[in-house]
Amino acid sequence: MRGHLRLATPADRSSSDSPVERSIRVVLAEDHTLMRRSLRLLLDGQDDVDVVAEAADLAAVTRNVLRHQPEVLVLDLGMPKGSSIEVIRRLREQVPRTEIVVLTMEDSPGIAQRALDAGAIGFLLKDSADTELPEAVRRATRGEEYLSPRVAARLEAMRPQDASFWPREPSARSEPLRSGSWPRSTVPARPDSISSLPPAR
Percent of the chain at pLDDT exceeding 90: 61
The answer to whether residue 138 scores a pLDDT higher than 50 is yes
pLDDT, position 9:
40
Check if CATH label 3.30.590.20 holds for domain 22-159+173-184.
Answer: no
pLDDT given at position 29: 97
- Of residues 45 and 19, more confidence is placed in 45
**pLDDT score, position 61:** 97
Q: What percent of the chain has pLDDT over 70?
A: 69
H or E stretch covering 117: helix 109-118
Dump pLDDT digits (tens) for 147-196.
999 999 988 888 765 444 444 333 333 333 334 444 454 443 333 333 33
Q: What is the pLDDT of residue 157?
A: 85
Residue 81 has pLDDT above 50, yes or no: yes
Q: Are 79 and 106 spatial neighbours (Cβ–Cβ below 8 Å)?
A: no
The answer to pTM > 0.75 is no
**Contacts for 201 with CB less than 8 Å, ≥ 6 apart:** 77, 78, 104, 105, 106
- Quick check: helix, strand or coil at residue 75? strand
List b or e across 49-64, with b for residues whose CB sees 16 or more CB atoms inside 10 angstroms.
Answer: bbbbbbbbebebbbeb
